[in-house]
Amino acid sequence: MKTSFVLTLIGRDRPGLVSAVAARATAVGANWLESRLAQLAGQFAGVVRLEVEERDAGRLEAALRELETEGLHLIIERGAVAGTAATRRITRLELVGHDRPGIVRDISAVLARHGVSIEELETACESAPMSSEPLFRATAVLDVPASVSLDALRGDLEALANELMVDLNLNDDSAAC
């Protein structure tokens, strides 16, 4: 029987960090399934999902903990069993507008009120092409409960987008899942 581990990693960025994690995982027979890794403000930050035979789970955790002596901070959690795909409706949200504090807070509050789970969120601040003003861009993959009306969700998000003066697009990707 296999078990999943979810790792959260953070430490001073330097060459070889991903290689060190991958080498320890491979040494005990773990498979690297998913990851989101980034360099943020000089720090390496990441989330990784590994899968290993249950009998090797303790060895995997011990091998990963060795990285803490190299200055990498780790949180290691066993993964939960995923929900059934039949109850999932995946939707994609894209947003772009002038940057200001509170955009993520306001959008995520609307999603929470509708019971929507954020599966993935990627954000960035960049310079607008013509004005060089700070531009905020976000892309999210959302898990929308079947009981939630996409039209109602879209209406609430569009009303907020008007207040925030951002462009927002909500695409139903559930047919693709």
Tell me if 2-78 shares its fold with 85-176. yes
Reading the block at residue 64, the tokens are 């990963």
pLDDT tens over the chain, length 177 residues: 999 999 999 999 999 999 999 999 999 999 999 999 999 999 999 999 999 999 999 999 999 999 999 999 999 999 876 555 556 799 999 999 999 999 999 999 999 999 999 999 999 998 888 888 889 999 999 999 999 999 999 999 999 999 999 999 999 865 444
| Strand (E) or helix (H) holding 125 | strand 117-127
CATH superfamily of 2-78: ACT domain (3.30.70.260)
CATH H-level superfamily of 85-176: ACT domain (3.30.70.260)
Domains of the chain, by residue range, sit at 2-78, 85-176
- Each as own residue / partner, the long-range contacts of residues 147-150 (CB below 8 Å, 24 or more positions apart, any chain) are 147/115, 148/114, 148/115, 148/116, 150/91
The residue whose two tokens read 């960049």 is 126
